[in-house]
Amino acid sequence: MARDKERTKARIIDAVGGLLTRSGFRAVGVNAVAEAAGVDKVLIYRYFGGLAGLLETVADEPDLWPTVDAVLAEAGIDEGGRDHGGTLAEAVAPLLIAYMRLLGRRPAALEAVAWGVAEQNPLSDALARRRNEWGNDVAGRVFRGRKAPADRDIQAVLCVLLGAVDHLMALSRLGVSFNGIELGTDGGLGRIEDAVAVLVHGALGGVIPGADPGVRPGPG
Amino acid sequence: MARDKERTKARIIDAVGGLLTRSGFRAVGVNAVAEAAGVDKVLIYRYFGGLAGLLETVADEPDLWPTVDAVLAEAGIDEGGRDHGGTLAEAVAPLLIAYMRLLGRRPAALEAVAWGVAEQNPLSDALARRRNEWGNDVAGRVFRGRKAPADRDIQAVLCVLLGAVDHLMALSRLGVSFNGIELGTDGGLGRIEDAVAVLVHGALGGVIPGADPGVRPGPG
DNA sequence: ATCTGAAATCACCTATCAGTGATAAAGGCC
DNA sequence: GGCCTTTATCACTGATAGGTGATTTCAGAT
């Protein structure tokens, strides 16, 4: 039980996750991690080469970031990748909302996203790499078999929407308001979800659900 | 010339701006500000009650945040508030893009936005208050006389788009990529601008400029 | 039992930073 | 010129952080 190197490494990694969740990125230092893990801080240097190496290792932990399958499941999309026959917008909107909700339940991931905006750090850098593969994976599964409007930069549109979700969810964890909407409440986040759906349907095509036909974009 | 309290205060405030611009928020500490201003750090406590008070004062500086008039001017909208007769989307899209560009030219403001996401601090708190009035002011001028679709939460839609702009511009100052788009380059930001325009027109109504009619949202 | 190497700890150094009490210099005023 | 208030500086403390060399403890092999 005692004197198990792998177990000790795992405890250190877990300590980082707990610290991120409970106390935020600012609290993640060599001393604090060592104390939270109940080990000597020298081991962080020995086993991970320092705090930077430790954070990179943490970023590769599978439970830090929501998996593609988890997002698809949350969105109610068959993970087998079978096409549900809907339009692109009908697939993307629930996906973004599912991503939003999953992110909201992962304080450590939100913390990493938020601090990756403030300054580059080993955790957010490694996470950014993983997210890129993640995005490609999702895109590959969603775009397959669906017609995308060729006259719009879908990648850029998704970039904007993903950026918005990251930003607003990161702010929500602080319980602040943004543009008059309380992001710390379910009501506020619900409004954001609806707005995301409106934006997706408006930009990616298809009818906006529940929209008054009189104001729907059209040739008129 | 020497021994002028107001002048010294101004120098301290300027030092914060310069430090934000050149070295980032992390570098803004009592010691660094004092050194950059060429004064003793005790004066920060005496004149501003500490770093927090100083940052609140900085947030109220008119040149930190783009003024409403500057954004309207950048967007090519008459600052007198005269209506140009366009649709809501035709007014909002250039406004968001103007805001985006102005923000990109204000490293200190970007720094404040970015760190306000990471953690609450006196600078971002005070800035958030100012931004709220700012948003109300802009909204008041833009919505006046224009028909807004009643079936959509316009405030939430704008919240999402503003959040996206803040997020992507904050990332752009780090020169990173996001969702495969290089935000540090003019080309990447240009794609973001176009995407914002597409999203605005899609969600707020009106025809997307240059869009292929075949894929335009409609009853079909 | 004891030797050995891995695993883990201890004690210590240095740098940095926020904050404070005592002190010095400058300029108006008579 | 001498005095007093304002302005500004000096010198110090305490806390916290990252980082490292020397040392100890344990498990397994011989």
Q: Provide the pLDDT confidence category of residue B154 given band limits of 50, 70 and 90.
A: very high
Closest CA to A72 of A105, A102, A110, A106: A102
Three-state DSSP state, A81? coil
Three-class DSSP category at B207: coil
How many CA within 13 A on the CB side of residue A80? 3
Question: How far B207 CA sits from the closest chain A CA (Å)?
Answer: 6
Kindly tell me the burial class for residue B156, based on how many C-beta atoms sit within 10 Å of its own C-beta (0-12, 13-18, 19 or more): buried
Closest residue by Cα to residue A97 from A179, A201, A14: A201
The helix-helix angle for A88-104 and A107-118 (nearest 10°) equals 100
pLDDT for res B3: 80
Q: Yes or no: is domain B68-215 CATH 1.10.357?
A: yes
Query: Residue B118: what pLDDT?
Result: 98
- Give the whole-angstrom CA distance, residue A148 versus residue A101: 25
Provide mean pLDDT across the span B165-182.
97
Tokens of A218: 């059209």
> CA B62 to CA B15: how far, in whole Å?
15
What pLDDT score does A140 carry? 87
Burial class (CB in 10 A: 0-12, 13-18, 19+), A85: exposed
The answer to whether residue B218 scores a pLDDT higher than 50 is no
In this structure, how many other beta carbons lie within 10 angstroms of the beta carbon of residue A199?
30
Q: Where residue B17 falls among pLDDT bands split at 50, 70, 90?
A: very high
Residue pointed to by tokens 């950059």: B36
pLDDT the model gives residue A209: 56
Nucleotide nearest to B37 (CA to C1'): D8
What is the residue whose two structure tokens read 């997210």?
Answer: A131
Averaged confidence pLDDT in chain B: 90
pLDDT tier at B150, thresholds 50, 70, 90: confident
Paired tokens of A8: 């000790």
The contacts of residue A26 (CB under 8 Å, 6+ apart) are B119
Spatial neighbors of B131 by CB under 8 A, at least 6 apart, are B65
pLDDT in tens, chain A (220 residues): 468 899 999 999 999 999 999 999 999 999 999 999 999 999 999 999 999 999 999 999 998 999 999 999 999 876 555 556 688 999 999 999 999 999 999 999 999 999 999 999 999 999 999 999 988 998 888 888 888 888 899 999 999 999 999 999 999 999 999 999 999 999 999 999 999 999 999 999 855 555 554 444 444 3
pLDDT band at B219 (very low <50, low <70, confident <90, very high): very low
Residue of A149, A160, A181 with shortest CB distance to B195 = A160
Helices (H), A173-209: 186-204
The integer distance in angstroms from the CA atom of A42 to the C1' atom of D20 is 9
Which of B11-18's residues contact partners 24+ apart within 8 Å by CB, and which partners?
Answer: B11/B37, B11/B38, B11/B39, B12/B37, B12/B39, B12/B43, B12/B44, B12/B47, B12/B48, B12/B54, B13/B54, B13/B57, B13/B58, B13/B61, B16/B54, B16/B55, B16/B58, B17/B58, B17/B61, B17/B63, B17/B64, B17/B108
**Dist CA A73 CA B10 (whole Å):** 56
Chain B contact probe: residue of A95, A121, A152 with most B CBs at under 10 A: A152
Fold of A5-59: Arc Repressor Mutant, subunit A (1.10.10)
Q: Which residues of B touch A159 (CB under 8 A)?
A: 168, 178-181, 191-192, 195
CA of A7 to C1' of C7 (A): 12
Residue B214 has a CB neighbour count (10 Å cut-off) of 10
Which residues does chain A have within 8 Å of residue B155's beta carbon, measured at their own beta carbons?
A: 179-181, 191
> pLDDT tens, B87-142?
899 999 999 999 999 999 999 999 999 999 999 999 999 999 999 898 899 888 88
Q: Which long-range contacts (CB under 8 A, 24 or more apart) does A18-27 make?
A: A20/A107, A20/A108, A20/A111, A20/A112, A21/A107, A21/A108, A21/A111, A24/A111, A24/B119, A25/A111, A25/A112, A25/A114, A25/A115, A25/A121, A25/A123, A25/B118, A26/B119
Footprint of strand C on the protein (CB under 7 A): A 2-5, 7-8, 38-40, 42-43, 46; B 1-3, 29-32, 41-42, 45, 50-51
Instruction: Provide CB contacts within 8 A for A118, sequence distance 6+.
Output: B25, B114, B115, B117, B118
**Domains of chain A, residue spans:** 5-59, 68-215
Euclidean distance between the first and the last CA atom of chain B, given in angstroms as a whole number: 74
pLDDT tens, A43-91?
Answer: 999 999 999 999 999 999 998 999 999 999 999 876 555 556 688 999 9
A178 forms bridges with which residues in the sheet? A181
pLDDT surpassing 80 at residue B180: yes
Nearest to A117 among B120, B150, B170 (CB): B170
Which residues does residue B181 pair with via DSSP β-bridges, in sequence order? Answer: B178
Write the CA distances from A24 to A19, A108, A110, A130, B29, integer angstroms. Answer: 6, 8, 10, 21, 20
From the CA of B62, how many Å to the C1' of D4? 38
